[in-house]
Amino acid sequence: MTTNITTSITIFLIFLGLLRVDSFPGLETATGTLASIPAVYVLGDSLVDAGNNNYLAISISKANYPHNGVDFPGSIATGRFCTGKNAADTIAEKFGLPLPPPYLSLKGIFKEEERKAAALSGVNFASGGAGIFNSSDQQLRQSIPLSYQVNNWLSIHKELMSQLDPSEAQIHLSKSLFFVVIGSNDIFDYFGSFKLRQKTNPQQYTQSMADKLKEQLKRLHDTGARRLLIVGVAQIGCTPGQRAKNSMHECDEEANTWGSLYNKALVKMLQQLKEELGSSMTYSYFDKFNSLHDIVTNPARYGFADVKSACCGRGELNAQLPCSLVSNLCSDRTKYLFWDLYGHPTEAAARTIVDLMLSDDSQYSSPLTLTQLVSS
C-alpha cells in the first residue's frame, strides 16, 4: 500500500496466505461456482499495481526488478510489488478472466488490438504510491493519483462504448466489477508532514479522504459502474518496516489508530452514497483492518508461520532494506504474510484474502460479500 520511497508502496492489504480450504469454516464457498462477470477494472495503489509505474520515467516506486515476481510465471518482475500475482490478479482468475493489463501498457499505435480486448475484459489503472489526494508525489510523476486513474478509465470507457451499442454497454458495465484499493499512502503523507498536521487534525483529514474518494466513486458511477468492491486500510502500523523500528517488534499503534479512523469514515461514506444512489449501486466493503488482526493473531489457522518479518529484505525482521536482487529471500514464501518491509502481501497472502472476500461466512465483508455482490 509510496508517497515517499520508504512509506510508499503502501501498505498492504495484507492480503493473506495460501490455506487449505478446510482449514477454517466459510471458505468452502470460495471454491464453488461463481456468478460470471464480464470484466474487472482495478484502481488503487501498489497493493494492486500490475506494472503501470514501469511506464513512469521519473518514478522510483517500481518493482520491475528481482526478487519481485519470483513466483510469477517465468519468474518475471512485472512491476507487481509481490512474489507473483496480487489480489487483483487473483480475483480475475477466480472469475475466469485474463489478468487485467496495466493501462499504460496499452498505449501506442501498435497496441490497438490489445487495448480493444482489454477494454472488454478488464484493465488495471493502479499505481504504486498513489493516493486519494493529488499529492506532491504526483508532481514528480512517481505515481498516478486516483483522480488521474479515473481519467484513464474514461479513456477506456470511450473505447468500450465504440465497440458496443448503448444497451450492450450498459449491461456490460452494470455486471462488471470495479475494484478499489487505496488510502494507505494518504495516511502516511499525513503522518510524515508537519505542515498537514498543523492544518488539520486526524479526524478532519481522514474524513476529507472519504469525501474525496466519494467524488471519484460518483465519477465511476456516472459512466455506468454499478458493482463496487472497496477495501479499507489495513493495520498500517504492523508492517515489518514499522515493527523493525522498535526492539520489541511491536506495532505502531498511532498509525493503526489513524487507519481505523479512516475506515470508520469510509464505511459511513459508502452507506451515504448507497442512500443517494439507491438501487443503481451495490457494493462490498472489505474490512482489511480486522482481517489482518485475525491473521496475525491466529497465523497457523490461515497457514502462515511468519506474520512479522518480510520475506525479502535485509536486517532486523528482514525489514531494514527494500527487496532487491541482493536481499535475503525466504525459502518458503507460502508461509510468509509479508513480501517486503512495506507490508505488501505475498501471493499466498493475496489468495487467502480473496478467499475471505468470497466467503459467505466472512465477518469482514459488508453489506455483501464479493460472492453476493457479483450475484446481485
CB of 172 closer than 8 Å to CB of 178: no
pLDDT in tens, 19-60: 333 333 333 334 456 889 999 999 999 999 999 999 998 888
Would the pLDDT of 194 be above 90?
Answer: no
> What amino acid is encoded at 328 in this protein?
N
What is the reported pLDDT for 18? 32
What is the reported pLDDT for 5? 38
pLDDT, averaged across the chain: 90
pLDDT in tens, 76-109: 999 999 999 999 999 999 999 999 999 999 999 9
d(C-alpha 78, C-alpha 81), whole Å: 9
What is the reported pLDDT for 163? 98
Using alpha carbons, select from 13, 27, 17, 46 the residue that is nearest to residue 263: 13
d(C-alpha 44, C-alpha 15), whole Å: 14
Average pLDDT rounded to a whole number, residues 125-144: 80
Using CA atoms, how far residue 185 sits from 12, 81, 181, in Å, is: 10, 15, 11
d(C-alpha 77, C-alpha 71), whole Å: 9
Domain map (residue ranges) of the chain: 40-375
Q: Which cell numbers in the block locate residue 45?
A: 495503489
CA angle 175, 180, 184 (to 5 degrees): 170
What is the reported pLDDT for 308? 98
Whose cell is 459511513? That residue is 268
Using CA atoms, how far residue 373 sits from 87, 112, 275, in Å, is: 17, 32, 17
Q: CB neighbours of 251 closer than 8 A, spacing ≥ 6?
A: 235, 237, 238, 242, 243
> What amino acid is encoded at 268 in this protein?
K
Per-residue confidence band for 123, with pLDDT thresholds at 50, 70 and 90 = very high
What is the reported pLDDT for 60? 87
Is the whole-model pTM more than 0.85?
A: yes
- Report the number of secondary-structure helices (H) and strands (E) in the chain: 13, 9
Cis omega (within 30 of 0) for bond into 367 = yes
Percent of the chain predicted with pLDDT > 70: 89
Which of the two residues, 164 and 8, has the higher pLDDT score? 164
For residue 171, how many other CB atoms are within 10 A of its CB? 13
Q: What is 40-375's CATH topology?
A: Rossmann fold (3.40.50)
What is the reported pLDDT for 32? 52
Q: CB neighbours of 102 closer than 8 A, spacing ≥ 6?
A: 49, 50, 51, 52, 54, 55, 79, 123, 124
Q: Which residues of 325-364 are buried (b: 16+ CB within 10 A; e: fewer)?
A: eebeebeebbbbbbbbbbbbbbbbbbbbbbbbbbbbebeb
Per-residue confidence band for 10, with pLDDT thresholds at 50, 70 and 90 = very low
Average pLDDT rounded to a whole number, residues 107-128: 97
pLDDT in tens, 217-264: 999 999 999 999 999 999 999 999 999 999 999 999 999 999 999 999
- Tallying the residues shown for the chain, one arrives at 376
What is the reported pLDDT for 35? 81
What is the reported pLDDT for 14? 34
Would the pLDDT of 354 be above 80?
Answer: yes
Q: What are the residue numbers of the active site? A: 46, 340, 344
Q: Which cell numbers in the block locate residue 156?
A: 477506456
